[in-house]
Chains A and B, each alone.
Chain A
Amino acid sequence: MVSGGNASSLPLVGGSAEPTIRELSRPGRRASKYPKLDVPEVDLNHPAIKNEKAPLPEVSEHDLVMHYSRLAHRNFAVDLGFYPLGSCTMKYNPRFADYVASISNFSNTHPATPAEFTQGSLKILNILESYLVEITGMDHASFQPPAGASGELTGLLIIKKYLEQQKLEHKVDIIVPDSAHGTNPASAKMAGFNVVEVATDERGMVNIEDLRSLVNENTAGLMLTNPNTGGLFEEEILTISNIIHDAGGLLYYDGANLNAIVGVCRPGDMGFDIVHSNLHKTFATPHGGGGPGSGPVAVKDFLREYLPGPIVTKDNEKYDWYKPKFSIGRMHGYHGNFLVALRALVYMKLLGKEGLDTLGAYAVLNARYLSSKVSKYLPLAYDEPCMHEFVATVKDLKKSHKIKAYDVGKALLDKGFHSPTIYFPLIVEEALMFEPTETQTVETLDDLAESIKLIVEELSAPGVNLADYPKNLPVGRPNELIPAKHLTVHWGDFELLELTE
């Protein structure tokens, strides 16, 4: 193998555990120093003040730096290797965006600063809005939602408010495919809707007949991602949108899979009324170990006044905040994850027309290539051309050798790759979902396919103990029962457990 992921993702030294910062603490040590008080000191008598000091760790700055650097060494990352993680779009995060996000005028501005002193920040949001609506085929956007799930909830609250304004409060059903991301039904429930599940047909797409049978006067809308979570383009999308619109419902586009279609086609042209984008997926902002993201919501013109606000307006080169007339309210304390939005704009400007026009195409190209290679060793869930991701299944190996999707994922870790997404979508048995993104080389894709081949051979060999995988990492498979049963969620909890048992 030549792609190098294996070498760089293993820890530098040995396998011993890293102590916690509390275990490194010694009384009297400190990293911080503050200036001497330069105003006259007075006695502070206030009922809210305590006498004792906060029980924080006491460490030297060198100890602090070594500790967190060593922990960083125990972590896989996009900068170290390949994440073929379906639905997550773990592409390269341009370093240049780090620089722009660190410009003091952007990063050190208080969110309550009046618009007259923050014209630059407002301009960033205004330009980014123009890019987003062009890419998605919508008209206006709000940057308040700090993540995709918040964007979903925003979209659903917009649907709700819009229907209320139209005196259509009886419309309470949101239709969600059985293959949808878990956030879809969770968000619909939070917005106060009934969740109605539509089935997937044998080709892997929305079952149109089932959809027709579920749609009625109570239909408020449909949540859909296209391509869907099986990585397939919903070829009947125009029929689907007609069915929903004819019933007076709205179409919500879950932007989790937007990377597949940037420059290829647009949700707005498919009939969607509301779109959220995951800037931390499609537009290459770093995922931060689980966040921050940003989930701006874009809408067609007729929904502009429902957006969460304030939103940015532009008048004669002057930018200002505007609160939409029927706004659903606020989804964030201030303006959403502004610095994430800024990074996304940096990425779009670096890509420009030529890069954005071909973004989806290259993402699909890599997925199609990887699926062709992987399908030689594992059957694919659907016999259809994939978009930016595809689903393979381990169900045959499970029958013949008791090998589960989970085991293949764990064995891949040993080879220097992140696991693909496993057991998703829920409708595919023993699913492994691969999304290579456009930033991986042919060699890396070949290496991954080769690793799958080796793993299938290795795990099928007689006498293999599947639970031993992964073997070459700082820790092996964790015991997940202990923390769930004993709530060992704070340092000291586990020691206490050991003392009592």
Chain B
Amino acid sequence: MFVPHSNIDLNIIFEELKISSLDDLFAHIPDELLINNGLDVEDSLSELEATDYFEDIASLNTSSLTCFAGGGHYDVYLPPTVKSLTMRPEFMTSYTPYQAEISQGILQVLFEFQSLVCDLTEMELANASLYDGATSIAEAISVAINKTKRDNIVISSGFNPNSKQVINTLIDSKKFNLQYVELENYLFPEDYQFTDEDAAFVVSFPHYEGSAQDLTELVKKAQDMGIITVCYVDPSMLGVLKTPGSMGFDIVVAEGQSIGTPLSFGGPTVGWFATKKDLARLVPGRIIGETIDNNHKKTYVMTLRAREQDIRREKASSNICTNQTLNAIGSAIHLSWMGPEGIYQVGYQAIQKATYMKNEFKKSGFNLKNDESSLREFLVETKVPVSNVLTYMGSNGFLAGIKYSDNELLVAVTEKRTKKEIDDYLKLFTEVNNG
């Protein structure tokens, strides 16, 4: 399958190589290593058979749950226009644009991606993507460590627990101290005292629990101590929320799934990374620059290559090679499709609808943990175990949210949710909680 050779072709090749069978190719491999009788796998499927095979497996997933889960991944409307442009085979089946002369398409879209990310976050320099939001936070911490040569990381506890696990895995706990700061009333304590031994201040905007605060003063305090400040932002809310740049952050990272990528069971998505130019040489991953060719024509090219692993090897700023380019292309096209008004609607309607939902929860007698400070995502207390709520509502067509604790559920609302879906949700939620 997918090998084009006919017997005539094989004869031509065998003759050139003076061999008589495929086995002759491996005369130099020790006999005891060669596989006898082939691999223990099933026979091939035709596409028709494979269609049934995979559709059957797909049907084991519960179909189209109405999504009220967030935690970094959001069910934002993704137009077919964006999907079909992103999946153009010239983008999808191309290699990393090392050969600039035949890769101007990918290079220009990535340059536009970098520029759009900078404009949206008010930063100066973005890279061409990292794996996902969680790994991007760890990369940002590494930059802060390299810049400050300090070893204490002040990090908000208001992150997705999975992200914290990624950070704990990727940052060497023997060399560096990850100091998680508990939120107070779901906000980072404004009176927190930084020290000049801290390398980074890492905080989520909004916090994982959905609450948000203006972080300008905290950023200023941290920077006075020479600390690199890192903001993990929900990019689909940036049509409405203050930009990390306006609050003074040095580095912005994001889980970019909600901009240009379907939920995808969490992958592939895309990590965004943007910063100020004075940190340029510590940035992980690829960066595209604008230049001219030998005829003075506008040209895009990969730049600052001396940071990367294929050149610097063990001295590289990161080991990343393969990134998430196609998802970054999706982000660029989706941002351009939305425009200023579209991304405003995405954020504004999400908050309005979440506000309606929170009021309905309260009317039905449920306790909200962070009503005032939350925006599109919030914590609601359940009266029965959260896992019971998830199972009951899942069996009735709703992904109710993400389990936060045994009796707290994290609920997210996007612009896609309708009043009717919210009302139906509340009916089921009331049923399962009131028994």
Q: Is B one of A's binding partners? A: yes
Q: Which of A206-214, A439-447, A450-458 forms part of the interface with chain B?
A: A439-447
- Shortest CB–CB separation between residue A460 and chain B, in angstroms? 21
Which residue of chain A lies nearest to B94 when distances are taken between CB atoms in the complex?
A: A77
User: What are 6 A-B pairs at a CB distance below 8 A?
Assistant: A30-B341, A32-B337, A39-B352, A114-B390, A287-B93, A352-B1
- Count of chain B residues with Cβ under 8 Å from any Cβ of A? 199
Given A17, A40, A47, A116, which contacts B391 in the complex, CB threshold below 8 Å? A116
Q: Would A491 and B111 count as touching, CB distance under 8 A?
A: yes
Which residue of chain A lies nearest to B25 when distances are taken between CB atoms in the complex?
A: A364
Given A9, A293, A339, which contacts B265 in the complex, CB threshold below 8 Å? A339
Q: Would B314 and A189 count as touching, CB distance under 8 A?
A: yes
A149 with B319, Cβ < 8 A, contacts A290-B97, A474-B101, A477-B294 known? yes
Given B5, B344, B418, which contacts A362 in the complex, CB threshold below 8 Å? B5
A-B contact sample (20 more), CB < 8 A, given A146-B267, A192-B172:
A29-B339, A34-B77, A64-B337, A68-B85, A74-B108, A75-B104, A85-B95, A99-B51, A113-B69, A147-B131, A182-B311, A264-B26, A289-B95, A291-B324, A362-B5, A438-B2, A438-B3, A442-B13, A473-B102, A490-B124
Q: Which of A119-127, A297-305, A392-400 forms part of the interface with chain B?
A: A119-127
- Shortest CB–CB separation between residue B375 and chain A, in angstroms? 7
- Count of chain A residues with Cβ under 8 Å from any Cβ of B? 196
Q: Would A334 and B267 count as touching, CB distance under 8 A?
A: yes
| A9-51 Cβ-contact flags toward B at 8 Å (1 or 0) | 1000001011011100000011111110111111010111110
A15 with B87, Cβ < 8 A, contacts A56-B339, A349-B50, A439-B2 known? no
Report whether over half of chain A's contact residues are helix, strand or loop; otherwise say mixed: loop
| A369-403 Cβ-contact flags toward B at 8 Å (1 or 0) | 10011000000000011000000000000000000
Q: How far is the CA of A476 from the CA of B102 in the complex (A)?
A: 9
Q: Would A186 and B59 count as touching, CB distance under 8 A?
A: no
Q: Kindly list chain A residues whose C-beta atoms are within 8 Å of the C-beta of B306.
A: 484
A64 with B333, Cβ < 8 A, contacts A147-B131, A182-B309, A338-B267 known? yes
Q: How far is the CA of A295 from the CA of B346 in the complex (A)?
A: 34
- Shortest CB–CB separation between residue B398 and chain A, in angstroms? 10
A332 with B265, Cβ < 8 A, contacts A32-B339, A349-B50 known? no
A339 with B264, Cβ < 8 A, contacts A64-B333, A333-B160 known? yes
Q: How far is the CA of A49 from the CA of B376 in the complex (A)?
A: 12
Q: How far is the CA of A112 from the CA of B116 in the complex (A)?
A: 29
Is B355's CB within 8 Å of the partner chain A? yes
Is A463's CB within 8 Å of the partner chain B? no
Q: Would B88 and A69 count as touching, CB distance under 8 A?
A: yes
- Shortest CB–CB separation between residue B232 and chain A, in angstroms? 11
Q: Kindly list chain A residues whose C-beta atoms are within 8 Å of the C-beta of B99.
A: 76, 409, 413, 418-419
Given A35, A64, A284, A413, which contacts B102 in the complex, CB threshold below 8 Å? A413
Which residue of chain B lies nearest to A366 when distances are taken between CB atoms in the complex?
A: B13
Among B201-249, those with CB < 8 Å from A are 205-206, 212-214, 238-243, 246
Q: How far is the CA of A333 from the CA of B162 in the complex (A)?
A: 5
- Shortest CB–CB separation between residue A436 and chain B, in angstroms? 11
Q: Would B323 and A147 count as touching, CB distance under 8 A?
A: yes
| B299-332 Cβ-contact flags toward A at 8 Å (1 or 0) | 1110111101111111110111111111101001
Is A148's CB within 8 Å of the partner chain B? yes
Q: Kindly list chain A residues whose C-beta atoms are within 8 Å of the C-beta of B96.
A: 287, 289-290
Q: Which of B41-49, B147-155, B192-200, B424-432 forms part of the interface with chain A?
A: B41-49
Q: How far is the CA of A386 from the CA of B82 in the complex (A)?
A: 43
Given B9, B110, B116, which contacts A56 in the complex, CB threshold below 8 Å? B116
Q: Would B166 and A149 count as touching, CB distance under 8 A?
A: no
Q: Kindly list chain B residues whose C-beta atoms are within 8 Å of the C-beta of A88.
A: 95
Q: Kindly list chain A residues whose C-beta atoms are within 8 Å of the C-beta of B141.
A: none
- Shortest CB–CB separation between residue A343 and chain B, in angstroms? 10
- Shortest CB–CB separation between residue B359 and chain A, in angstroms? 9
Q: How far is the CA of A374 from the CA of B205 in the complex (A)?
A: 56
Is A253's CB within 8 Å of the partner chain B? no
Q: Would A56 and B319 count as touching, CB distance under 8 A?
A: no
Q: Kindly list chain A residues whose C-beta atoms are within 8 Å of the C-beta of B95.
A: 76, 78, 83, 85, 88, 90, 287, 289-290, 418
Given A21, A293, A476, which contacts B293 in the complex, CB threshold below 8 Å? A476
A291 with B311, Cβ < 8 A, contacts A71-B108, A134-B39, A480-B301 known? no
Q: Which of B60-68, B178-186, B377-385 forms part of the interface with chain A?
A: B60-68
Q: How far is the CA of A153 from the CA of B320 in the complex (A)?
A: 10
Which residue of chain A lies nearest to B37 when distances are taken between CB atoms in the complex?
A: A357
Which residue of chain A lies nearest to B214 when distances are taken between CB atoms in the complex?
A: A47
Q: Kindly list chain B residues whose C-beta atoms are within 8 Å of the C-beta of A91.
A: 2
Q: Kindly list chain A residues whose C-beta atoms are within 8 Å of the C-beta of B5.
A: 362, 365, 441-442
Considering the complex of A and B, which 8 residue pairs feature the smallest CB-CB distances, nearest first? A483-B289, A352-B44, A111-B266, A334-B266, A329-B169, A288-B326, A75-B105, A32-B342
Q: How far is the CA of A119 from the CA of B58 in the complex (A)?
A: 9
Q: How far is the CA of A384 from the CA of B27 in the complex (A)?
A: 12
A114 with B394, Cβ < 8 A, contacts A53-B344, A56-B340, A290-B106 known? yes
Q: Would A490 and B30 count as touching, CB distance under 8 A?
A: no
Q: Would A332 and B267 count as touching, CB distance under 8 A?
A: yes
Among A272-308, those with CB < 8 Å from B are 278, 280, 284, 286-295, 308
